[in-house]
Amino acid sequence: MQLRNSPSRYGVVSVVLHWGVALAVFGLFGLGLWMVGLDYYSPWRKAGPDLHKSIGLVLLAVMLLRVVWRFISPPPPAPANHGALTRLAAKLGHLALYIGLFAVMIAGYLISTADGVGIPVFGLFEVPALVSDLPDQADLAGAIHLWLAWGLVIFASLHALAALKHHFIDRDATLTRMLGRKA
């Protein structure tokens, strides 16, 4: 499989970025739901959020790389059997996923830096707290983060269902291309 995208399929970089982001999003969602239920005496009470924040910040870097990669290696054009409405829905859906991902990560950053302390990333380095003096920052960003995370996971699930519909009902190459196979 080639590194870059071609007119008939996605390259290995796009495939790895796509599926890695999907795995991270659903993993972070599960971790987030689990960690908010931890009690004060749980040994994971600090480790869970620290892991969630570290993975979230790595995901932010990966998403920035993914945006740059889309300019370096544009995605293949939509399959010929996709009508204008399907193409528009795909473009708007992908845009919504990208915006949702960045928005949920920014909200998470604002929760974590509300007290003016930076965020350690796996104990290797710290991302500084650049914004920390907004009124009710942690509570407001927390509510936004929660609702955006639910919206993102629901929308990503619909995205997956649409890919399965294209594969099994329409029998087109939408899904196989994202698996790195030729259309």
d(CA 128, CA 113): 8
Per-residue pLDDT reduced to its tens digit, 105-158: 999 999 999 999 999 999 999 999 999 989 999 999 999 999 999 999 999 999
- pLDDT tens figures, 61-70: 999 999 999 9
| Residue 182 clears pLDDT 80, i.e. is over it | no
Q: How many residues does the chain have?
A: 183
CATH number, span 12-178: 1.20.950
pTM above 0.75, yes or no: yes
C-alpha dist (Å) from residue 60 to 88, 90, 108, 125, 167: 26, 23, 11, 15, 30
The pLDDT value given to residue 183: 66
Instruction: Locate the domains of the chain by residue range.
Output: 12-178
Q: Are 129 and 118 in contact (CB under 8 A)?
A: yes
Tokens standing for 99? 């915006």
